[in-house]
Structure 1
Amino acid sequence: MIVEHFLKWIETASASERAAAAAALARAFINGDLSTEDRLAADAALTFLLDDPSVKVRMALAEVLSMSRAAPAHVIGGLAADQPEVAELVLARSPLLTDGDLIDRVRIGESKAQCIIADRPVVSMSVSAAIAETGDASACVILLKNVGADIAELSFKRITERFGGVASVREALIADRRLPAECRHELLMRLGEALMDSPLIRAVFSGERAGRVLKDVWLKASVTLVDRTLTSEFPALVEHLRLHGDLTPRFLLRALAYGKVDFFCAALVALTGQNHERVCSLVTNGTDNALFALLRRAGLPDRTHIVIQAALEMWRDVARGKRVAGAQEASWLMLDKLGDDGSDLAAMLKAVHLEVMRENSRGHALAMRAA
C-alpha cells in the first residue's frame, strides 16, 4: 500500500521531491526493510522511475543503487543505458554489470563510457580486449594505467597496431612492464618514423644524415628495450628483430658491451639453430675455438670474434667476483681488441665508451654534491 500511495504521489510532486523519495525507496529496497509484498511493489516502482522525465530522479537512483549487489539487475541495466551523467555512476561502480554488459557499452563507441569502464577497479581480460579493439585512444591510455586491468598479450599488440603513432598511448605502452617485447620494438620503429617526418629534423638534417642520426638513437634505445624485456621473452624479441633486419653485429656488440649476455645467448640460439643449453655452455665455459666456431655459424664477421671473446671473458670474471667492471671497461676493452679502424663498429664502441663515461662522471658528481 505504501508503494501504491508513492506512485500516486509522484504524479504531482516536484522533481526534487521525486528525487528524494526515489532515493529513500531505493535505500529501503537494498537494505531489506520491506515486506515481500512491498518489495515486489518497490521493484515495480523503481522500474517505473527509470522513465521519469527528470534526470535528477534517475541520478538519485543511480547514486543509491550503483554500489549495491542487492539492487534490481534490470534497473541497473536501464541506468547503465541512460544519458552519460546517470550511466557513468553505474558503469564505474556497479558489481552487477557482467562482462557482456560492459563489452556492449564499450562497443557502442561512446568515449566517456569507454574511459569509465577502462578505469573500473577490476577489468577482466575480455573487457580489456573489447577496449583494445574498439575503444578510442583515451580509453586505451586509461586501461594501460589501470593496475586492476587484466590485459592479454594480443590486446597489447592491437593497441600498438591501432595507436602506436599516438604519443600518449605510446608513452603508456612503454611504461607498462607487461608489454611484449615485439611491441616495444614496434613502438621504437614508430617513434623513429615520427621523428623522420618531423619538420625540425628535416630542417636541421639532410635525409641521409637524419637517417644516420635516428639509427644511432635507435641503437641507444636498444639497451633499454632489452632491459625492459623479461628473459623468458628474449626469443620472441630476437625473432622480431631478425625479421625486421635489426639483429645486426652493431646491435649485438652494443648489447654485449652493456653486459646483456643472456640476450646475446638468445640471439646466438636463433642465428645458429643450436639449442639453448649448448649455446649457453659455449658462451660461459667453452674454449676459444669452440666459441669462434659458434660465432662463425651465427654469421658474425670474423673480426668481431676476438672482440666478443674478450667481452665475454670480462663479464665471466665479473659474474664470478674476480673483477669489478662495467660497460665503461667492457666497451674500452672491445674497442682495443677491434682497433680504431674508422669502421661503424669502432665508432659505435667509442660512442658507448664515451656515453658511459659521461653517465659515470655525472653520477659521481651528484653523489659528491649529495654528501
Structure 2
Amino acid sequence: MTAYRARLTEMDIRRLVKATDEDERAEATHKLCRNMDRIVLDDIERDAAQKILRMLADDSAELVRRAMAVTLKASTLIPNDVARKLAADLDSIALPIITSSPAFSDEDLIEIVRAGSAVRQVAVATRPRVPRDVAAVLAEEGCEQSVRALAANDNADISEAALSVVVDRFAQSQEVLTAVAYRQVLPLHVTERLIALASETVREHLVSRHAVAPETAIRLAQYARERATVDLVDQAAASADLSVFMAQLNSRKALNASLLLRGLARGHIAMFEHGLAELAQTPHQRAWLMVHDAGPLGLKAIYDRAGLPPRLFQAFRVGVDTWRALTAEGGAVSTEEFRQRMLERFLTQRPNVQRDDLAYLMERLDQPTLPAVAVNAA
C-alpha cells in the first residue's frame, strides 16, 4: 500500500510539473496536496513535501495557490513560513488559511489582527480556537464585525477584562451585546452590565440563563414592564447563597408570603426554609427543624414567628405536605420533572391562595422554568 501511495504521489508531481495550463496545474495541485495530507510521512518525506508546498506558494497562478490553501487549510503539513506567506496573499487564498490553519503562533495571529483588514480579523475571530491573548487584541482593536464574531465563538478564550472592553467599545451595538449575552458562560460583572444595556429580549435570556446578583434581580423585578422578565423564584433557585439572597430580598421589602408560596408550590423547599429563617430572624438549621422535624405544630410556630398572614397558613401547610408526599415517592427533588409534579399536585388540591399567585402558578404550569445556570466565571 505504501509503495502504491508513493507511486500515486510521484505521478501527481510529474503531472504538476508537466502541466502548462493554470486550470490543469490547479487540479494537479489539489490532488497532490490531498494525497500528501492523507499519507503518513516520515521526517524525510515530510521535509520533501514541505519543499513542494513552498514551491506551490510561489506559483504565479492564483488558482494554484488557492487550490493548495483550500485543500490544506486545516492540515498540520503546512509549515509556519508557508502559512504566513499565504496569509499575506489575496483574500481568496488567505482567508481559508487564516480561519483554519494550526500553523500560526499567537504572535502571527495578533499581527494579522493589527494589520487592520476587517475580513481577516473576522477570519481570526472565527477560528476553531482563539487563544486568550489573541482574543484580547481583537477585543481592543478589532472592527465591530470581528468583535461580534469573536463574542459569538464559544471556543474563543475571552477574559473578563476583554469582555468588559467589548461592552465598553460597543455599548451602542445591540448586535455585539447580543453576541456577548448568548455566550455559554459569562462573568457576573459582565452579565450585570449587559442587563442595563441590552434589549428586553436579551435581558430575558440573561436572567433566565445566568444568575444575577440579588440586588439586580430585585431592582428589575420592581418594574412592572419587566415582571415577565425577572422571576425572583428562578433567581433564588440559581443563587449560590440563599441566606444572602433572602437577606437582600428582606432589606428591599420584597420577601413576602406571596413570593415564598410561589417558591414552595414550585418545589423550592430550601428557598421557603431560608425565607422563613430570615423573616423569623432565626438560624436556617432551626427553621429547617421547625418545618420538617418538630411535629404538626412546628411549621405553625415558625410561620407565626415570621409574621406571615394567618389566612394563608393552610396553603403553606398544603405545600409542605405535598412536598413530603412526593419526596417519599422517591426521585431527585432538584429536577424540573419534580417541580412540575409538585406544582400540578399542589394546584389539584385547590389551595386558598391569592388570585395573582394562582395566575402565576397556572402560567408556570404551562411554561416550565428553563434550567437555571448559576456558573459565572471568567
What's the TM-score bracket when you normalise by the shorter of the two chains?
0.5 to 0.7
How has the CA–CA distance of structure 1 residues 220 and 160 changed in structure 2, closer, same or farther, with 3 Å as cutoff? farther
- Aligned partner of 1:250 among 249, 254, 275: 254
- Aligned partner of 2:225 among 214, 217, 225: 217
Contact 2:131 2:157 in 1 (8 A): yes
How has the CA–CA distance of structure 1 residues 233 and 44 changed in structure 2, closer, same or farther, with 3 Å as cutoff? same
One-letter amino acid of the structure 2 residue matched with residue 354 of structure 1:
A
C-alpha distance in 2 between matches for 1:65 and 1:184: 40
Alpha-carbon offset, residue 222 of structure 1? 1.4
Counterpart of 1:79 in structure 2 is 86
Between structures 1 and 2, the one with greater helix share: 1
1:282-320 Cα deviation digits (max 9, x unpaired):
787786666777x7xxxxxx6x67799887655433431
> Is residue 190 of structure 1 aligned with residue 197 of structure 2?
yes
C-alpha distance in 1 between matches for 2:245 and 2:280: 12
Contact 2:322 2:342 in 1 (8 A): yes
Q: What do you get for the CA RMSD once the two structures are aligned?
A: 5.7
Structure 1 unaligned regions, length at least 5: 196-210, 296-301, 336-349, 364-371
Size of the aligned set, in residue pairs, is: 315
How has the CA–CA distance of structure 1 residues 309 and 217 changed in structure 2, closer, same or farther, with 3 Å as cutoff? farther
1:118-142 Cα deviation digits (max 9, x unpaired):
4444445555555555555544554
Alpha-carbon offset, residue 75 of structure 1? 0.7
> Is residue 89 of structure 1 aligned with residue 93 of structure 2?
no
Aligned partner of residue 220 in structure 1, secondary structure: coil
Alpha-carbon offset, residue 67 of structure 1? 2.4
List aligned pairs for 1:287-302, cutoff 5 A: none
1:245-265 Cα deviation digits (max 9, x unpaired):
997333776653531565677
> Is residue 178 of structure 1 aligned with residue 185 of structure 2?
yes
List aligned pairs for 1:128-277, cutoff 5 A: 128=135, 131-139=138-146, 141-143=148-150, 145-146=152-153, 148-149=155-156, 159-163=166-170, 165-181=172-188, 183-191=190-198, 215-223=223-231, 227=234, 231=238, 233=240, 238=245, 248-250=252-254, 255-259=259-263, 262=270
Counterpart of 1:354 in structure 2 is 359
How has the CA–CA distance of structure 1 residues 193 and 105 changed in structure 2, closer, same or farther, with 3 Å as cutoff? same
- Aligned partner of 2:321 among 307, 317, 322: 317
Aligned partner of residue 249 in structure 1, secondary structure: coil
Aligned partner of residue 325 in structure 2, secondary structure: coil
1:175-220 Cα deviation digits (max 9, x unpaired):
455334554444333247999xxxxxxxxxxxxxxx9999113233
One-letter amino acid of the structure 1 residue matched with residue 253 of structure 2:
P
Alpha-carbon offset, residue 62 of structure 1? 0.6
C-alpha distance in 2 between matches for 1:318 and 1:77: 67
One-letter amino acid of the structure 1 residue matched with residue 99 of structure 2:
A
How has the CA–CA distance of structure 1 residues 278 and 180 changed in structure 2, closer, same or farther, with 3 Å as cutoff? farther
Aligned-residue sequence identity (percent) comes to: 25
1:86-127 Cα deviation digits (max 9, x unpaired):
222112322333444444444555443344344444445555
How has the CA–CA distance of structure 1 residues 191 and 148 changed in structure 2, closer, same or farther, with 3 Å as cutoff? closer
Structure possessing the higher relative contact order (Cα contacts under 8 Å, 6 or more residues apart): 2
Alpha-carbon offset, residue 276 of structure 1? 7.3
Counterpart of 1:340 in structure 2 is none
List aligned pairs for 1:50-61, cutoff 5 A: 50-61=57-68
One-letter amino acid of the structure 2 residue matched with residue 256 of structure 1:
L
C-alpha distance in 2 between matches for 1:94 and 1:103: 15
